[in-house]
Amino acid sequence: MSFKNRGEYNFVPRNVASRNSVFFMCLASFCLGMFFTNRMWNVVPEARGISRLSKLSLSSNDCHKKNVLEYGNNTIRILDKSISSLEMKLVAARAERESLAGKFNISKEAKKRKYFMVIGINTAFSSRKRRDSVRSTWMPQGEKLKKLEEEKGIIVRFVIGHSVLSRGILDKAIEAEEKTHGDFLRLEHTEGYMELSAKTKTFFATAVSLWDAEFYIKVDDDVHVNLATLKKTLSAHLNKPRVYVGCMKSGPVLARKSVKYHEPEYWKFGEVGNKYFRHATGQFYAISKDLATYILINQL
């Protein structure tokens, strides 16, 4: 609204002027915002793979959805393999650095030479007869055992920890047996049926810190091994990353407490009725050095 004063001059009230100014400023800000937003979307580079997948998703109809999903799954698998490869390289580099720093107490013998495989025979205090059976069949004794190590690069040891009672009668019996045969690897581990998984992990970590080998093998003391066949089989997997060889299986995750071998933490594997991931049976399996090194680092 305008008014005239005595000098016939028009003037606009301040409140009207301020409202107009605010309106024009808001309009200008909105236009500038739209302009810069469009510029930024044009500048942002499209991610390879993601942009392609987005375009396929937007332009596809029902008959093309399967191809889009396959493309996405393949991309995820490729990325997953790349990430796993980088993780293992980082683990190996860290192991090498920390071993050079003396953190893992790598023996001088391990640094001197390369072995083909280290076989750890899982045994218990009460398994003397089984050990004698192994010694009389496939495990060389005395000088033949040393010759197997030096010429074939194969190390074989019975693996056992310590009893609950330190320096008890069970430990003394093993010490006496060790003096006779010299074929034990004693672990910093307390023996017990519920600690078998921890014992295996400790074996791999100890073995890779003592001997530099291509493969590390866990076998039970009631399994008889053909060393020549085993070496030939593993030779086919040389220079392959993350080798895990054994009698592979899978099975349902047992959630009910009334069932033998039920899984207390079954929920970690998903919904009830799911299966375990594919894995080797416990009697025998072999892993490559990079996996043994991974166990060594991640058990700390």
Q: Which one, of 132, 186, 128, 180, lies nearest residue 157 by Cα?
A: 186
Q: What is the dihedral of CA 50, 54, 57, 58, to 10 degrees?
A: -170
Q: Which one, of 243, 29, 45, 215, lies nearest residue 120 by Cα?
A: 215
Mean pLDDT score across all residues of the chain: 78
Tell me which residue has tokens 């399996």.
285
Alpha helices, H only, 60-120? 65-100, 108-112
CA angle (112, 115, 119) in 5-degree steps = 130
Give dist(CA 186, CA 115) in Å, integer.
20
Q: What is the pLDDT of residues 235-257, one digit of tens each?
A: 999 989 899 999 998 888 888 88
On the CB side of 235, CA atoms within 13 Å amount to 9
Q: What is the dihedral of CA 242, 248, 254, 258, to 10 degrees?
A: -120
Secondary element (H or E) of residue 216: strand 213-220
Tell me which residue has tokens 């047996």.
177
Q: Name the β-bridge partners of 11.
A: 3
Query: Quick one: pLDDT band at residue 274, thresholds 50, 70, 90?
Result: confident
Cβ within 8 Å of residue 59, ≥6 positions away:
none
According to DSSP, residue 49 is labeled T
User: With 90 as the cut, is the pLDDT of residue 149 above it?
Assistant: yes
Domains in the chain (CATH in brackets) are 50-100 (no CATH), 108-242+283-298 (3.90.550)
pLDDT at 179: 94
Q: What is the pLDDT of residues 104-136, one digit of tens each?
A: 455 565 557 899 999 999 999 999 999 999 999
Task: Judge if pTM exceeds 0.85.
Answer: no
pLDDT at 113: 85
Q: What is the pLDDT of residues 36-84, one digit of tens each?
A: 555 544 444 444 443 443 443 434 455 455 555 555 667 776 776 677 6
Q: What is the pLDDT of residues 164-222, one digit of tens each?
A: 887 789 999 999 999 999 999 999 998 988 888 899 999 999 999 999 999 999 999 99
